[in-house]
């Protein structure tokens, strides 16, 4: 019941991988593989200075994003505390007005 079900094995006919034999005394010639078009884009070469700059830039980005996220979390926490304090004060005022004090 809980045994895995595997797909059936591939039953496609195998392609022969043998190479054609050359005639006796005639060397076999192979055609060169086609080469794709050369890219016009320049390649990026990282020097130790540029690697250090990338690491420094990445560190700065992480620190800035972390600071922004922590400040947003702090703002939400302060807002939540102030809303809770307002709710307690309003509840106290409403209870006092109901009791007639």
Q: Tokens 């078009």 identify what position?
A: 37
The backbone region for 100, taken as left when phi is positive above 0, alpha when psi lies in -120 to 50, beta otherwise, is left
Residue range 30-65, pLDDT digits in tens:
777 777 676 777 777 888 899 999 999 999 999 999
Structural contact between residues 22 and 28, judged by C-beta atoms closer than 8 angstroms: yes
Query: Which helix (DSSP H) or strand (DSSP E) does residue 79 occupy?
Result: helix 48-99
Q: With a cut of 90, say whether residue 23 has pLDDT above it.
A: no
Please give the Cα distance from 94 to 88 (Å, whole number): 10
Residue range 55-91, pLDDT digits in tens:
999 999 999 999 999 999 999 999 999 999 999 999 9
pLDDT of residue 41: 76
Please give the Cα distance from 46 to 16 (Å, whole number): 45
In order of 1, 4, 10, 11, the CA distances from 7 in angstroms are 17, 10, 9, 12
* pTM for the model: 0.47
Phi (first) and psi of residue 51, to 5 degrees:
-65, -40
């Amino acid at each position: 019941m809980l045994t895995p079900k595997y797909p059936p094995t591939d039953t496609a006919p195998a392609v022969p991988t043998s190479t054609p034999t050359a005639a006796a005394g005639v060397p076999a010639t192979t055609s060169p593989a086609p080469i794709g078009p050369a890219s016009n884009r320049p390649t990026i070469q990282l020097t130790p200075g540029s690697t250090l700059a990338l690491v420094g830039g990445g560190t700065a980005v992480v620190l800035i994003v972390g600071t922004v996220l922590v400040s947003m979390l702090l703002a939400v926490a302060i807002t939540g505390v102030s809303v809770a304090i307002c709710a307690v004060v309003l509840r106290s005022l409403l209870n006092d007005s109901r009791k007639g004090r």
